[in-house]
Chains A and B, each alone.
Chain A
């Protein structure tokens, strides 16, 4: 009788544990290196977050298959960061209860900012992977955060070089549309500086709320202004909606923009996209590393990787390299390693490194445009990528803000 009762009790306890999950307890018994990974999986950046998780998973599996880091397996705990407040709560919980050694991820600049504060408070490392706002690596920078994606100044320079080459800036009348939040305003400021420095005249800058789906009133305004170039500082879904409707209205003015993720470009649909845009990486880069990554990703998911899949992939590889080199997961040792400006393979022609005084990864960027009609082999193939910026004979740093332009002090 007692025996039977004990079995029942144990069974109930086991079932209870299964239902509740107890992730922290189960995980703490293993000898894995745990990585707290937060990225938006819902909301207006959710599509990009899906690519991000796909990318970091491939990196984790490759590293673990090759024996892990210092003989220990990596355990990447990916969760939806939802919004800035939830992102901070989850980051704190991952460090405190789930046993995360470092934090990685994010695309939303506002969420990245709150996670940065959690990292600083806990004196732990945060690798901010996909957030591009200038203030994160400028005014609000901190010693515990490293930034992998390019800042807005680099995006403006990358597309800007192509615009200069095509004679679309000097002496031209330029009309802008700007996403009405932190990132858009940053982008607009950098773009205005660029146009002013290169002899363009800015004839208008219209703010666009982030939830705008219909751009028709703006189309009328653009036609009224009769610009030589429409330059957009939009974000996420806005860009796709804008280019679709620009094609719908058939306006004749040249267009360009300083932010367009490949996933949003693909979503524009056949014959809708035009103009010059920047990117941090693309799937047609002719390097052995990129080719292998694209092949592996395409094999798994039946579509080529987007820039957010790539950036998460290389970020985990960078983190693994740092842990292997320092033989440690200690925050201070990792920071010292990154600040030594050690070089990392980014699957690009040139290697990259973190700048010691603002923790920004210094790397190549690329402009892209659209292939002439009829040249695309499939629905992923209509983008035409340009040569790396800066050119091979220039140092990588020239497209980044210099120390006197960037307010970062640790």
Chain B
């Protein structure tokens, strides 16, 4: 009985991992291709949530989940063109500072536009409720969320591994100089990657708004988890991020099962242990430009 319940926590952790993945994967892509730790990534997640609420008022829940990421991806073009592009070859500390500053500006902007008080958000009544499989309890909404994550994940994987776009991006991660020597400009690819990354973060924001509090600091909260996932998974590895997200979800769930007070600390302990034995992360590749 106790074992079964532990297994239920593990499965729930896997679902939760999917939830982290949407944010972490974009962060990892931008990091791998551009060499920039985008600390403003959480801001796009928050924008995704706030914009989806505005759209939902007019058009309802469904369109809001689709249109909000599209709008934020457009914002991503400006972000890449006018901010990130200047820092690909600069000292990493500069991009760290700039994106950190931008995250604070974005948070304050949300405060000015929408107010500091958290905004109400809910899902259509039909999505609420539980699904019992065997003796395991699931939230119906989270199962749908997991399906969306799976679709997005498959799409990204196909894009990176089965298209010429993906080949250039993957080559750009390892040897940007060689890509340039072949006469391919990486910049438009980088714009597309940033759009994709912040769009995924916004999709996360729009999808999580009905189940977590929508407030100005929500971006700052999620970026920490996403960053931990990317570090554990390792740079440049698609499956590393997937594995790390699921692992963080499971470790957190199991820790809360045995020692609830330590639940949030568990992912940092995990990061510490992984880095101790595998400094590049679980599946991290050796990337020459970062060595």
Contact = CB atoms under 8 A, between A and B. Distances in A.
A223 B221 contact: no
Interface residues of B, number: 44
Interface string A108-137: 000000000000000000000000000000
B283 to A, nearest CB: 25
Contact of A264 (B118, B256, B261): B118
Contacts, number: 124
A379 B129 CA distance: 22
Q: Which of A180, A216, A218 has the most CB of B within 10 A?
A: A216
B118 A240 contact: yes
Contacts of B166: none
Determine the main DSSP class of A at the interface with B.
helix
A339 interface: no
A228 interface: no
A217 B253 contact: yes
Determine the main DSSP class of B at the interface with A.
mixed
A41 B116 CA distance: 8
B15 to A, nearest CB: 7
A267 B119 contact: yes
B97 interface: no
A269 B213 CA distance: 9
B70 to A, nearest CB: 24
B213 A244 contact: yes
B12 interface: yes
A212 B221 CA distance: 9
Interface stretch (A3-11, A42-50, A146-154, A398-406): A42-50
Interface in B114-152: 115-123, 125, 128-130, 137, 139, 141-142
A82 interface: no
B122 A272 contact: yes
30 contacts: A43-B217, A46-B111, A47-B215, A49-B116, A50-B117, A180-B261, A209-B265, A212-B263, A213-B212, A213-B213, A213-B221, A216-B15, A216-B16, A217-B9, A217-B252, A217-B263, A218-B260, A220-B5, A244-B122, A244-B211, A244-B212, A244-B213, A245-B139, A245-B212, A266-B120, A267-B120, A267-B213, A269-B121, A269-B122, A270-B122
Interface of A: 41-44, 46-47, 49-51, 180, 206-209, 211-214, 216-221, 223-224, 237, 240-241, 244-245, 247-251, 263-264, 266-272, 306, 379
